[in-house]
Amino acid sequence: MHSMKLRYTLLGLGSIFAITSCHAQEPAKAAPAASEIKAAAPADKAKPPVVNGVAIPQARFDFLLKQGAEHGQPNTPELQKSIREKLITLEVISQEAEKKGLGKNADAVIQIELSKQSVLANTYVQDYVKANPITDDALKSEYDKLKAQIGDKEYKARHILVEKQEEAKDIIAKLKKGEKFEKLAEASKDPGSKEKGGELDWAPPTTYVKPFGDALAKLQKGKYTTEPVQTTFGWHVIMLNDVRDIKAPSFEEVKKNLLQHAQQQQVEKLISDLKAKAKVE
C-alpha cells in the first residue's frame, strides 16, 4: 500500500478512468486534395551505403525507415540521411570489432543470443495479439462492469489508523467529548494522511479495502464511525466529510486504455499457458 493509503487499483481502474479530453475521438476530417496527397508522398528512397566494400542490405535501411514511420516520423530526406549515418556508424564499428576478434568474445556472444531471443519473443507476442484481436463488444462489456463496480458516488473522507483496537476506542471517546478529528489524526500511523488531518482524496468506496469501504459507505455526511474498523493495516476511525456524484468518462474516451489493459492480460495468459505446457527441469 502506497504511503499506507487504503486505496487499491481495481482492475487498472485508476489508469483506465483517469482520462483527459485529449483521448476523446477526433472529428472526421475531409478527404485531402490531390495536391496535398502529392505533397505528402514519401521522398525518393536513398540507397544504403557501401562501407569498405561491404554493401549494407537494403532491407536494413527499409526496416529503420518503417520504424520511423511507426513512430510518426515522415519519410523525408533528413530522416533518410539520419538512417544512412546510423548504418554507417554501426558498420564501421562492427567491422573494427570483428578485426579484433570481438565477435567471439564470450559476453558478446551471450548478448547476441539474448538479443535474438528477445526479438523472437516480441515478434511472437505481436503476431499473437494481431491474430487474436479483442472485439469492441468485449471492451464494452468490461467498461460496463467497471462502471458498475465504481458506482455513482465518490466520498471525501478522513481516517485515523492505529495498531490496537483500544487505541481506536480511545480516539472515538475523545471525539464524543468534542475533540477535533484533525488534531487526533496526529497520532495516525498513516504517514500519507496524518499531516493533512487524516484527509484522503476523493474516491468511491470500492477503491478501498472492503471493511473500510463498507464502513465509509454507511456513514452520513459529517459523522464518524462509533466503533473501530479493522483492516489488514490496523484499526481505523473514519469520518465522512462529503459525497458527490461521479461523472464517468464515455466508452470512447477510455477505449484505448481498456484495449491496452485487455491486451496486457491476453499476453500474460499466453505466457502463463506456454510456461505451463513447457517441460522445465
For residue 22, pLDDT over 90 is answered with no
How confident is the model over 208-226, as pLDDT tens digits? 999 999 999 999 999 999 9
- Please give the share of the chain, as a percent, with pLDDT higher than 90: 78
Model confidence at 151, in pLDDT bands (50, 70, 90)? confident
Round to whole Å and give the CA distance between 118 and 271: 14
> Minimum mean pLDDT among 40-49, 230-239, 262-271: which range?
40-49
Closest alpha carbon to 253 in 4, 16, 29, 13: 16
Domain ranges for the chain: 46-100, 144-244
Q: At what angle do helices 58-70 and 77-99 cross, to 10 degrees?
A: 130
Helix, strand, coil: what percent of the chain each, to 5?
55, 10, 30
- Contacts with 40 (C-beta within 8 Å, 6 or more apart), sequence order: 32, 74
Round to whole Å and give the CA distance between 141 and 148: 11
Amino acid at 59: A
pTM: predicted TM-score of the whole model, two decimal places? 0.62
According to the model, what pLDDT value does residue 45 have? Answer: 64
- Residues 144-244, CATH architecture: Roll (3.10)
Q: Which three cell numbers, joined as nine digits, stand for 171? A: 480516539
Phi/psi for 191 (5° steps) reads -65, -20
Cβ–Cβ contacts within 10 Å for residue 129, how many?
A: 14
For residue 273, pLDDT over 60 is answered with yes
Model confidence at 162, in pLDDT bands (50, 70, 90)? very high
